[in-house]
Amino acid sequence: MLNGKRIIVVLPAYHAAKTLERTCKEIPRDIVDEIVLVDDASTDNTVAIAKSLALQVRIHPENLGYGANQKTCYKESLRLGADIIVMLHPDYQYDPRLITPMASMIASGVYDVVLASRILGGTAIRGGMPLYKYIFNRLLTVFQNFLVGAKLSEYHSGYRAFSAEVIRRLPLLANSNDFVFDNQMITQALAFGFRVGEISCPTRYFAEASSINFRRSVTYGLGVLATSVFYRLWKWGIVRNRLFSQEGVFCLADNSDGRIIHL
């Protein structure tokens, strides 16, 4: 706990057997109350290793996608009484030791959302980010900052912390079940007026770290562009979009998923 806030780390996992133990070893257990791993129908030993590490394990009987995995992560974190939720990829690409400062920025009441940025500090290229991904990252971020009206260094990090109130209020079930979920979630947080902060985070790109290929990167990029355009049209009152619905019809707090297996 920090400042009396219950902290839960969620790990959206798919074929993470080679990196899961290294990731968990560096999670600061002195402040983290629970670690929840949601496995998206991996065919390796991800679940067995997670159980050996005494994690809270949830399983999708079939592969539902990265976005769907996160939806389950956040549902479970609310069910377990989280005040602060930190989403960390279990592929050891991001430094788990930053959970403490990220959670502190929320526990202190300064921010509602904290993003671990690979761009701040100039560590992305040094950490092995492919050049084409770096260029896409910068171009998409400039475009999205322009349309959304924010000044973030990047929108594409897979390492974030949220207050439970953010998770309860955002219409996350309206989001994609694929990779663009991440971008939609940040855009929603900005649309709903939540305070978004950033922290510099070194990154590691290596053979076992997860990464989407060029084709899926292009699909993700098109999704980011669409999200930004829809946001601007919604902001101008030209269109209505369920991604930015204020009614809460699609909020996680009001729904459940019967396909989850609890272990």
Contact by Cβ (8 Å): 44, 15: yes
Whether the per-residue pLDDT at 260 is higher than 80: the answer is no
The pLDDT value given to residue 254: 56
User: What is the rounded average pLDDT of the residues 217-233?
Assistant: 94
Q: What is the pTM of this model?
A: 0.92
Cα-based distances in Å from 218 to 126, 142, 148, 211, 222: 23, 17, 21, 13, 6
Mean pLDDT score across all residues of the chain: 92
pLDDT digits (tens, 9 = 90+) for 83-127: 999 999 999 999 999 999 999 999 999 999 999 999 998 888 888
Asked, for residue 2, whether it belongs to a domain, the answer is no
Q: By residue range, what is the domain housing residue 67?
A: 7-252
pLDDT digits (tens, 9 = 90+) for 12-22: 999 999 999 99
Domain count within the chain: 1
Asked, for residue 259, whether it belongs to a domain, the answer is no
Rounded Cα distance between 126 and 131, Å, is 11
Give the CATH number of the domain where residue 110 resides: 3.90.550.10
More confident residue, 250 or 233: 233
Cα-based distances in Å from 243 to 131, 136, 196, 216, 218: 31, 24, 18, 22, 21
Distance from chain centroid for Cα 144: 18
Q: Among 4-18, 43-57, 213-227, where is mean pLDDT lowest?
A: 213-227
Asked, for residue 59, whether it belongs to a domain, the answer is yes
The pLDDT value given to residue 206: 74
Q: How many CA atoms lie within 13 A of 17 on its CB side?
A: 10
Asked, for residue 155, whether it belongs to a domain, the answer is yes
User: What is the rounded average pLDDT of the residues 38-59?
Assistant: 97
Asked, for residue 247, whether it belongs to a domain, the answer is yes
Structure-token pair, residue 123: 């560590």
The single residue listed with the structure tokens 């079930």 is 173
% of residues, the chain, pLDDT over 90: 79
Q: Which of 26, 19, 54, 61 is nearest to 40 (CA)?
A: 61
Whether the per-residue pLDDT at 210 is higher than 90: the answer is no
The pLDDT value given to residue 13: 97
pLDDT digits (tens, 9 = 90+) for 22-38: 999 999 999 999 999 99
The pLDDT value given to residue 262: 47
Asked, for residue 261, whether it belongs to a domain, the answer is no
Q: Among 41-55, 115-129, 133-147, 178-192, where is mean pLDDT lowest?
A: 115-129
Asked, for residue 262, whether it belongs to a domain, the answer is no
Structure-token pair, residue 27: 């999670």
- Model confidence at 148, in pLDDT bands (50, 70, 90)? very high
Asked, for residue 1, whether it belongs to a domain, the answer is no
Q: What is the total residue count of the chain?
A: 263
User: Which residues sit opposite 117 in a β-bridge?
Assistant: 200
Structure-token pair, residue 72: 């389950």
247 burial via Cβ count (<10 Å: 0-12, 13-18, 19+):
exposed
The pLDDT value given to residue 31: 97
The pLDDT value given to residue 259: 53
The pLDDT value given to residue 167: 96
